[in-house]
Chain A
């Protein structure tokens, strides 16, 4: 005979036992490294390991580092412009959320960039963007426009990057929005149609409000993803000294790229740790703000 209390304890123990594998993995491979990185951000490293405590030195340097300033501006600009992918994805999702021939073929096309390796995507875009031999400038030359060196020109480089980012994320966002749309009960649309609402009105009055929780999720995820941008820039411009031979690099450099260069190229791991801790803080703050603001625009049905 067990008492209810004892029963509850046993049940709780079983619960912990069940989550133990995941919790251990999470602790060992996520939380522990984060704590370690936090500690390392207060140290100075030798090239082959070994570190000494240096207090707030790294953070002081961070505040005065012009490269960090530039990287932040670029990363924020990229993140903000990258949000364009959300309205685009909603529009395409609405278009694909209809019964028509070949809809699955279209969905596949839109999703293709998502399953393609980012490195391959960036390589192909790099060729497209080539100032003298690229397909884009060839197209422009046919209509008499002399296109710039898209990713080597400081005036266009960041926008060129945003286009690739949006192009490759629309497919993923679109699938999530499609799922969100299909969860909206058909009765709502029938009722609206009976009341005389046209397709546009239905979209703005029913689809959009009921899609807002999905949009919120997508915006949180894309902001975090954009803030961590690395692979695209790495392929477009490289790292370390080679990257800096590109005159547009001051407009391409992102926070994670700067982290990579400091931690792995110039052997400055403590400073690299400080850079990612700053980024972590920024992500936490921005996500918290998004959760605050959602109350104003997200409708949970």
Chain B
């Protein structure tokens, strides 16, 4: 009996110790020393983020930052669960498709003061503005280009893509590069990344995905359909693998196996293609071809402040630092492209063998990533419908029109 009581007392004591340990951790704000949590998803950027956090603490000795890495696969699920429990990190990475969901539900805070946003690409400032208020500051950016395999171009004596080339030039090159005997296709009309494929050609054709007020779908617009038809035509002419083949072996793998002449890819692919043994000395990049106009989708991550945090002032200080020129220069040494204008020279200079300036020049004609409050809902509808056109089951006009109907219904529910 006495023994049990002694054990119970010991356990209680241990529990009390643990409790006090926890609370002392939380209460560090009481003596002006504050620890901010900063959630990020990219392992390759973890070191740069740690460096930024340390650099920030040098200027703000009372604030330390704890960089918390959650891999992409679980990032949004975890963040959503934490936000639902009122326990979101103080500062965290935000992307375009999720932004309005978090802003409209009051999970993130609008900026408490006006800052000079002319140093960032306008499309990114627009992307992170909701109901006239800006939330957080842009961290990095990415645009899209045409990566091409020089070896395959040389083999078919096709001239390399030039600045200002057009849809017709691209289609012509795709036809010439296609070699069924070798299993080589001119390009791949991928359906798994609208950011690199469909959204660009839709903008180039003069169409739109979602109206500026975010209330109606643009998929029934004939120009939008023209932007989609650009791709389905390539499949029909067999200048691109069919959808089944691209499902089994994704276009990126086909390109890295020398089976694709041209691959539409983001600026983030620099890391991939310079690290891959096959592509590292065979590829270069060109701007996207011109349709009715020249256009590329621009997207970028922003640092935002959680609305329910205890240290929102300090969190905003940190976000301002992350959006500053010195921070952008630290980021630019390792990639991705920093969003702050004029800090990108290091990024471009890292691989002089590639025309990386292409991605920066693209900012001048970039269009914003299409989003709304519940982007994920109609992103799914896009695939449900367009898959039928890509597989040849439905004409593209029909698939796109039906998609517009569904998407409008989903937007009406937001």
**Interface of B: prevailing SS:** helix
Nearest CB of B to A211, in Å: 41
Bits for A238-280, please: 1 = Cβ < 8 Å to B, else 0.
Answer: 0011111111110000000000010011111000000000000
Closest CB in chain B relative to A251 CB, distance in Å: 12
B84 part of interface (Cβ distance < 8 Å):
yes
Determine the distance from Cα of A153 to Cα of B191 in the docked complex, in whole angstroms.
16
Q: A49 to B77: give the CA distance in the assembly, Å.
A: 13
Residue B382, interface by CB 8 Å: yes
* Complex Cα–Cα for A130 and B254 (A): 13
Within 8 A of B (CB), among A148-198: 148-149, 151-153
Q: Find residues 117-134 in chain A having any chain B CB closer than 8 Å to their own CB.
A: 129-134
Docked complex: B371-391 residues within 8 A CB-CB of A: 374, 376-377, 379-380, 382-384, 387, 390-391
What is the number of residues of chain A that contact chain B, defined by CB distance less than 8 Å?
31
Cβ–Cβ contact B384 & A130, under 8 A: no
Question: Is B105 engaged at the interface, CB distance under 8 Å to the other chain?
Answer: yes
- Of the four ranges (under 10, 10 to 19, 20 to 34, 35 or more), the interface on chain B belongs to 20 to 34
Q: Known A47-B101, A48-B84, A49-B84; judge A149-B382 contact (CB<8 A).
A: no
Docked CA distance A48–B377 (Å): 15
Q: B80 within 8 Å of A by Cβ?
A: yes
Query: In the bound complex, what is the Cα–Cα distance between A267 and B77 (angstroms)?
Result: 11
Q: Does A264 lie within 8 Å of B192, measured CB to CB?
A: no
Asked whether A241 and B247 contact (CB < 8 A) given A48-B105, A49-B84, A247-B391, the answer is no
Residue of B nearest to A66 (CB): B384
Interface contact tally, CB-CB below 8 A: 84
The residues of B that contact A134 with a CB separation of less than 8 Å are 248
B191 with A245: CB separation less than 8 A: yes
Among residues 342 to 383 in chain B, which have CB atoms less than 8 Å away from a CB atom of chain A? 374, 376-377, 379-380, 382-383
A46 is an interface residue with CB less than 8 A from chain B? yes
From A46, A47, A246, A261, B247 is in contact (CB under 8 Å) with A246
Q: How far is the CA of A47 from the CA of B107 in the complex (A)?
A: 10
Mask of B230-256 contacts with A, CB within 8 angstroms, 1/0:
000000000000011101110000000
**A113 and B380 alpha carbons, distance in the complex (Å):** 33
Write out the residue numbers on chain A whose beta carbons fall within 8 Å of the beta carbon of B382: 241
B175 adjacent to chain A (CB < 8 Å): no
B83: Cβ under 8 A from any A Cβ: yes
- B376 with A247: CB separation less than 8 A: no
Q: Which of B183, B248, B376, B380 has the largest number of chain A CB atoms within 10 A?
A: B248
**Docked pose: A41 CA to B27 CA in angstroms:** 40
Whether the pair B105, A241 counts as a contact (CB closer than 8 A) is no
Chain A nearest CB from B4 CB (Å) reads: 17
A266–B409 Cα distance when bound, in Å, is 14
Residue contact B243 to A152, C-beta cutoff 8 Å:
yes
Given contacts A131-B248, A249-B387, contact A47 B80 (CB under 8 A): yes
User: Could you tell me if A245 and B192 are in contact, using CB atoms closer than 8 angstroms?
Assistant: yes
Q: Which residues of B contact A242 (CB under 8 A)?
A: 192, 383
Q: Which of B91-135 contact A (CB under 8 A)?
A: 101, 105, 107
Known A132-B245, A149-B245; judge A241-B107 contact (CB<8 A).
no
Instruction: Quote the shortest CB–CB distance from B374 to chain A (angstroms).
Output: 6
Residue of A nearest to B105 (CB): A48
> Most chain-B Cβ atoms within 10 A of its Cβ — which of A46, A47, A134, A153?
A47
Mask: chain A, 213-255; 1 = CB below 8 Å from B; 0 = not: 0000000000000000000000000001111111111000000
Does B244 contact A267, Cβ atoms closer than 8 Å?
A: no
Give the chain A neighbours of B374 by CB distance below 8 A.
47, 266-267
**Residues in A whose Cβ lies below 8 Å from that of B105:** 46-48
Of B101, B183, B191, the contact of A267 (CB 8 Å cutoff): B101
Report Cα–Cα, A267/B361, bound state, in Å.
37
Contact string against B for A residues 24-65, beta-carbon threshold 8 Å, 1 for contact and 0 otherwise: 000000000000000000000011110000000000000000
Q: Please state if A149 and B247 are interface contacts (CB–CB under 8 Å).
A: yes
Residue of B nearest to A133 (CB): B249
CA distance A244 to B374 in the complex (A): 18
Asked if residues B247 and A267 are in contact (CB atoms below 8 Å), the reply is no
Closest Cβ of chain A to B209, distance in Å, is: 14
A46, A133, A153, A246, most chain B CB atoms within 10 A = A246
B57 to chain A, nearest CB (A): 31
CB distance from A51 to the nearest CB of B (A): 11
Interface residues of A (CB under 8 A from B): 46-49, 129-134, 148-149, 151-153, 240-249, 261, 264-268
26 sample A-B contacts, Cβ–Cβ < 8 Å, listed by A number: A46-B105, A47-B80, A48-B80, A131-B245, A132-B245, A133-B248, A133-B249, A134-B248, A149-B247, A151-B247, A152-B243, A152-B244, A153-B244, A240-B380, A241-B382, A241-B383, A244-B383, A244-B387, A245-B383, A247-B391, A247-B393, A248-B244, A264-B77, A265-B380, A266-B374, A267-B374
The 6 closest A-B pairs by CB, nearest first: A244-B383, A152-B247, A149-B244, A247-B391, A152-B244, A49-B84
Other than A46-B105, A48-B84, A242-B383, give 15 A-B pairs with Cβ distance below 8 A: A47-B101, A131-B244, A132-B183, A133-B248, A133-B249, A149-B244, A149-B245, A149-B248, A241-B379, A241-B383, A246-B247, A247-B390, A247-B393, A266-B380, A268-B377
